[in-house]
């Protein structure tokens, strides 16, 4: 079962790596620019395919967006300028990583919130448990335990 599962996960990872969409003819001549282009593709969302970046999608719009990224790179834009360019046209949604701002505060801080909440519960729970133990075992109990153990002949 575990073997089967591992196999499945490996298969999923391998296909995930191989489905990167940019076609060979999309490769930029300048290797450094190509690296930056790939870095930008994964940061930009394909706006018509929900949870895919334009690096993963072959939707015609994703293909066109990659072309725009390359044009801007060749024009000498910085990575941030290109992200801003897309954000100005498609909004925050186009960024795979939501910006940290007022309306995303809860989104960003919720893991911390959950940690604090869960941690608080855990601390309370453990405290209560450890608080109870010494109370419940008094001398009388210990005497009974000793007696029982004696009976079993394994003191």
Site for other proteins, rule CB under 8 A: 47-48, 50, 60-61, 64-65, 67-68, 71, 88-91, 93, 117, 121, 124
User: How far apart are CB 87 and other proteins at their closest, in Å?
Assistant: 8
The one-character DSSP state at 75 is T
Shorter beta-carbon distance to other proteins: residue 44 or 56: 44
Closest of 18, 98, 9, 92 to residue 55, by C-alpha: 18
40: how many CB neighbours lie within 10 A of its CB?
23
- Spatial neighbors of 66 by CB under 8 A, at least 6 apart, are 22, 26, 37, 41, 54, 55
User: How far apart are CB 79 and other proteins at their closest, in Å?
Assistant: 17
Shorter beta-carbon distance to other proteins: residue 89 or 144: 89
User: How far apart are CB 132 and other proteins at their closest, in Å?
Assistant: 13
Shorter beta-carbon distance to other proteins: residue 3 or 60: 60
Radius of gyration of the chain (CA): 29
- Nearest-angstrom CA–CA distance, 119 and 108: 18
Shorter beta-carbon distance to other proteins: residue 36 or 66: 66
Decide: helix, strand or coil at residue 33: helix
User: How far apart are CB 19 and other proteins at their closest, in Å?
Assistant: 22
């Amino acid at each position: 079962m575990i073997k089967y599962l591992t196999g499945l996960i490996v298969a999923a990872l391998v296909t995930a790596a191989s489905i990167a969409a940019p076609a060979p003819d999309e490769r930029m001549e300048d290797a450094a620019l190509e690296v930056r282009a790939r870095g930008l593709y994964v940061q930009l969302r394909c706006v018509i395919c929900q949870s895919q970046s334009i690096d993963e999608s072959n939707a015609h719009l994703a293909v066109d967006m990659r072309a725009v990224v390359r044009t801007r790179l060749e024009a000498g834009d910085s990575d941030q300028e290109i992200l801003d360019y897309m954000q100005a046209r498609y909004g925050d949604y186009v960024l795979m990583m939501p910006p940290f701002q007022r309306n995303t505060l809860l989104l960003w801080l919720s893991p911390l919130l959950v940690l604090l909440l869960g941690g608080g519960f855990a601390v309370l729970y453990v405290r209560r448990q450890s608080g109870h133990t010494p109370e419940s075992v008094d001398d009388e109990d210990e005497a009974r335990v000793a007696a029982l153990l004696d009976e079993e002949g394994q003191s």
